[in-house]
Amino acid sequence: MHRFEFHLLDKSFDRTSFDCGNILLNSYLMTRARQAQTKGFNRTYVAIIEGDSEKVVQGFYAISMGQIDLSVLPEETIKSLPKHPVPVGRIGRLAVNKSMQGKGLGQELLVNALNRIRDASKAIGAFAVVVDTKDDSAKKFYEKFGFIALTNDPMSLYLPIESIPE
Ligand SMILES: CC(C)(COP(=O)(O)OP(=O)(O)OC[C@H]1O[C@@H](n2cnc3c(N)ncnc32)[C@H](O)[C@@H]1OP(=O)(O)O)[C@@H](O)C(=O)NCCC(=O)NCCS
């Protein structure tokens, strides 16, 4: 069982061998993540095996701020909430190297991302975490952790901030 370290992406990390099985996620990490971060569009965090001096990326996620219109939430949730859009934290991408899949890193990445968004929400406010899933398999992964589909787009899921434990 490996232990992992989580770091903000910078050019010292080895991304060259990363392959999660999804070409778009691979190439995002390889070619776009650093530039998106420099521009302030999001932040990418990477996981490496604890103490790995080569700093080989085993998993990553990208998070940003966003907003959603409350009309896309299930009706019973909306009653007590304002009519205007509300701030959310967004998980844009999350992926694990194939050789490391099925060993708990996906869950660790998700928990790390949720904790980071929860902490940020204490400073700037956020109502929920939203994730846009790419396929049914990814959707099932998030549903397992309590994410619920938005009414306008079944591939977008949300989790209320208040349900993230301290
Ligand atoms: C989806 C992904 C991130 C899961 O990472 P992982 O490290 O393999 O997952 P974990 O080992 O941490 O699994 C945690 C739990 O989620 C479950 N799980 C993992 N993938 C799942 C899936 N696709 N559907 C349903 N449950 C899933 C595991 O069974 C495990 O549950 P358990 O603790 O009850 O056994 C990984 O498979 C991946 O990178 N896939 C390709 C990219 C992708 O689809 N990313 C998500 C969309 S952006």
Question: What local confidence, expressed as pLDDT, does residue 70 receive?
Answer: 85
Place of tokens 């992992």: 4
CA 135 remoteness from chain centre: 15
Environment class of residue 109 by beta-carbon count within 10 Å: exposed (0-12), middle (13-18) or buried (19+)? buried
Query: What tens-digit pLDDT sequence spans the chain (166 residues)?
Result: 899 999 999 999 999 999 999 999 999 999 999 999 999 999 999 999 999 999 999 999 999 999 999 888 887 776 777 778 999 999 999 999 999 999 999 999 999 999 999 999 999 999 999 999 989 999 999 999 999 999 889 999 999 999 999 8
CATH architecture of 4-163: 3-Layer(aba) Sandwich (3.40)
User: SS3 of 149, please?
Assistant: strand
The ranges assigned to domains in the chain are 4-163
Place of tokens 């968004």: 117
To test the pocket of ligand 1, the residue of 23, 45, 131, 141 to mutate (highest count of ligand atoms within 8 Å of its CB) is 141
Exposure on the CB side of residue 126, measured as CA atoms within 13 A: 27
Flag whether the pTM goes above 0.85: yes
Question: What local confidence, expressed as pLDDT, does residue 6 receive?
Answer: 98
Residue whose CA lies nearest to ligand 1 atom number 1: 138
Two structure tokens written together for 124: 């700037």
Which residues are known catalytic residues? Answer: 142
Question: What local confidence, expressed as pLDDT, does residue 10 receive?
Answer: 97
